[in-house]
């Protein structure tokens, strides 16, 4: 096995960054502070590089698709066209970049989101079907919160706001805290398993 494919390398990187990150947070020492700060610089640098890597990967992927005339290759031309157009507009004219972003990209994104919104509403309709006692309580709580988010009900039925606030402040918050604590405990467990080399899902 090539040394770059060895699992020990990502594990070692994880271990070093974990220990610096963990101790840097708790320990106050000039040397530790400097290492902690340098680590941040590296991560920021790598995040910037990752954007570049993403661009290369995307170009290779779509380039290959066009070269092999794979299914839907026509759309890859659209990707390249949009990429070049956005890149050129950034340097040629900020006004055209704003136009592309505000008048084309933003409405297109909102339109796709709204399209999924229809599915979401029909999903809610199915989710609130009272099949059991638990489903009844889910539907009831959902109903009260729907009224809370439709401001007209809060105005005409003041009690709705109070009940919805109680639901959010008490049962929902209690459950939220339970989940937050559970996830925090799970995160420590995963971190330790990764540190010991038992958790390998993230390396494939």
Which helix (H) or strand (E) segment is 46 a member of? helix 30-67
Name residues contacting other proteins, limited to 125-184 (CB under 8 A): 125-131, 134-135, 138-139, 142-143, 146-147, 149-156, 158, 161, 165, 168-169, 172-173, 175-177, 179-184
- 91 lies in the site for other proteins, by CB under 8 A: no
Task: Give the one residue of 6, 7, 34, 193 binding other proteins; rule: CB under 8 A.
Answer: 193
Name residues contacting other proteins, limited to 65-84 (CB under 8 A): none
- Binding segment for other proteins (CB under 8 A), chosen from 7-15, 42-50, 81-89, is 42-50
- Binding segment for other proteins (CB under 8 A), chosen from 8-16, 80-88, 194-202, is 194-202
Task: Give the one residue of 37, 63, 84, 92 binding other proteins; rule: CB under 8 A.
Answer: 37
Nearest by Cα to 12 from 195, 200, 202, 199:
195
- 28 lies in the site for other proteins, by CB under 8 A: yes
- 88 lies in the site for other proteins, by CB under 8 A: no
Residue in the structure block whose two tokens are 């779509």 = 62
Cα–Cα distance, 141 to 178 (Å, whole number): 19
Which one, 12 or 38, has the nearer CB to other proteins?
38
Largest Cα span, the chain: 71
Contact 49, 66 (CB under 8 A): no
Tokens describing residue 109: 């994104």
The least CB distance from residue 81 to other proteins, in Å, is 17
Nearest by Cα to 38 from 26, 25, 52, 20:
20
């Amino acid at each position: 096995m090539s040394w770059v494919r060895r699992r020990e390398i990502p594990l070692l990187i994880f271990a070093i960054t974990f220990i610096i990150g963990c101790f840097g947070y708790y320990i106050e020492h000039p040397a530790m502070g400097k290492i902690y700060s340098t680590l941040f610089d590296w991560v920021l640098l790598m995040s910037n590089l990752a954007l570049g890597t993403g661009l290369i990967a995307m170009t290779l992927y779509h380039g290959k698709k066009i070269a092999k005339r794979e299914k839907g290759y026509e759309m890859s031309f659209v990707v390249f066209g949009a990429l070049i157009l956005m890149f050129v507009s950034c340097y040629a004219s900020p006004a055209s970049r704003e136009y592309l972003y505000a008048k084309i990209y933003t409405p297109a994104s909102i339109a796709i989101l709204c399209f999924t919104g229809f599915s979401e509403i029909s999903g809610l309709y199915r989710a609130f079907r009272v099949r059991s006692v638990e489903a009844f309580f889910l539907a009831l709580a959902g109903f009260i919160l729907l009224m809370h988010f439709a401001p007209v009900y809060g105005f005409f039925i003041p009690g709705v706001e109070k009940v919805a606030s109680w639901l959010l402040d008490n049962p929902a918050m209690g459950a939220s805290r339970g989940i937050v604590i559970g996830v925090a405990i799970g995160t420590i467990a995963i971190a330790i398993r990764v540190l010991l080399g038992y958790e390998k899902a993230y390396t494939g």
